[in-house]
Structures are given as structure tokens and as C-alpha cells.
Amino acid sequence: MKIALDPYMLREVTTLTTLPGVVADLGYEWIELSPREDFAPFFTHPRVDDAGVRAFRSALDGAGVGVASILPLYRWSGPDEDARQAAVRYWKRAIRIASLLGVDTMNTEFNGNPRERDVCEAQFWRSLEELLPEFEKEGIRLVLEPHPDDFEEDGKRAVDLVRAINSANVSFLYCTPHTFHQGNDVDGILDKAGALTTMCHLADCFDHTASSGLRYIVNPPGSQVTVHQHLDIGQGEVDFGAFFAALERNGFDGILTSCVFAWEDRAHESSRFMRATIDEYLSTWATSPTLESPR
């Protein structure tokens, strides 16, 4: 098992070459590299060149830190065909970067629009037809998550969709801060996915359906917005006891990523707290998981 940090809260105070040392100081040996301007920004072509990749890899080696996964985010399932084709081009460069880094896993969201589900799913399959051969050629696993406001938000339907891809290179990601958007059924989703779950994102969130749906109030009423948080464990309403019990029950042995985004003013404190809390939950397992080191 790999315990990783998504260092998004550190993106403005680190460079690619200083990031690994900071992550190591926070107690992590693995990074899940999410979008950042000097690497692979949101929705646009990756910025890092091959020389930058080599320098980053050298910094990782020097700090004793590995990249567990790279998370690009592109409009590969959107209804606009020109945008979809551009996203496929961006994906191909991102896959090449992952290969140069020696990274064997990439994760992303379904993307698209839940109000145009059929159109967006068709675009998703079209993109996969072009990209699956690229993942397979490079030996890289693709891990998919249902995200709030994607064309598929429901956890169980997302498991079915991942399974329908019918590829050993594609698996499922359970994201705890999306618990209340994907059906609020951690047992049902993780038991249905079983070994198909190879990654999990860990952060807390409030239940937006509570208090008669008035946990959050937006104006005007009926506005099409999707709200959730990425808080420290214990600051929201996710049942992490049930979550970790489901992981243990299903023999999870993949990547656990701390992905708190809410506290840039206390990013170091939050990251250390999350690592200690994850370790505490794992210590309750009947058989302690083996933690993988990059060295």
C-alpha cells in the first residue's frame, strides 16, 4: 500500500524540484501529483518539458520520494468536439510525461456534464478508443472517479461504467469527500467495486443533503451549483470508521491519498495531521498493511 500526499495546497510555495523535499519533511514517501501551472495545468497542455521531467525525477530520487500517480484533468468527455480532441492531445503528452518519470498510474475524473449525460458518455467512449492503446503501450494504469458535476456522479453506476471498459488497465477510485454526491453508501459502493478499487482520496466533507437540503443555501434558489469540501478528517460528516472497515474487508492494497484543499494557511499542519490519522486507522486492521517505499 502507498500513502500519498496531493500537494495542491503547496503549489504556490514550491517548485517541481523543491516539492519532493517538502513532501518528505511532512512524513510522506509518495506524491499524487495534481494539476499545477509548472507541470500539467487544469484543462490545458502540459507545460513541463523533458529536461524539467529529468530535473524533477532527480529531485524525487534525492528526497527518497516517489510519484504514486499523476492526476491530469481535461475536458475529454465534454460535449464540444474540438475541446475533446484537444483534451486527447493533452492526454497523450501527459502519458508520455508519466512514462518518462517511471510512473505506472494516472487518475482522473469522468468530466462532462450531468445535464448532458448521454452526449458526454459518448464522447468519453470516443476518447477512450484513442487513449486506451496509449495507456496499454506505456504500461500505465488509468484510475477513474465519479466527481460532483461529472456526467456520472453516482458511485455504483460509476463502478459499472469502469467495469464496462473491460480493461485490466482501468480501475476505480473512491473519493471520501464526494461521499454524499455519489450515493452516501460506502459499504455498497466499495463492496460492489471490490478489487476494482485501487485508489482512494481522503478528506472530510459535510452532508449537503442534511437539514432538508439546507446545509448550504445558494441564491437564487434552484441555482445549478455543486458544493462540497476537502477538509481534515474529523471536520465533516464522513464515516471514516465504516470507510476503513470496508477497505479492510475488501483487501484493499492500493494508493491512499490525503487530498485536503481547505487549509492553505496551515497546509503543513494539515498534511501531518492527515498522515498520522491515516496511520491510526490502518493500525486497527487485523492484519497490518504493508506500506510500500519508493526505495
pLDDT class for 73, splitting at 50, 70, 90?
A: very high
- Dihedral (CA of 11, 228, 224, 188) sign: positive
Q: How far apart are CA 153 and CA 146, in angstroms?
A: 5
Percent of the chain at pLDDT exceeding 70:
100
Burial 168-186 (b: 16+ CB within 10 A, else e): eebbbbbbbbbbbbbbeeb
User: What integer pLDDT is reported at residue 217 of this predicted model?
Assistant: 76
Whole-angstrom distance, CA of residue 55 vs CA of residue 49: 10
Q: What angle do CA 107, 110, 116 make, to 5 degrees?
A: 170
Evaluate the CA torsion angle 151, 109, 262, 183 in order and state its sign: positive
What is the pLDDT, as a whole number, of residue 15?
98
Convert the pLDDT of each residue in 201-218 to its tens digit. 999 999 878 888 777 777
Q: Work out the average pLDDT over 101-119.
A: 96
Residues paired with 109 in a beta bridge: 145
Q: Cell numbers 484513442 correspond to what residue? A: 130
- Round to whole Å and give the CA distance between 100 and 93: 11
**Structural domains of the chain, ranges and CATH numbers in brackets:** 2-282 (3.20.20.150)
Q: For position 286, what pLDDT does the model report?
A: 94
Average pLDDT over residues 94-98: 98
| Residue tagged 478508443 (cell numbers) | 129
Query: What would the pLDDT profile of 1-42 be if each residue is shown by its tens digit?
Result: 999 999 999 999 999 999 999 999 999 999 999 999 999 999
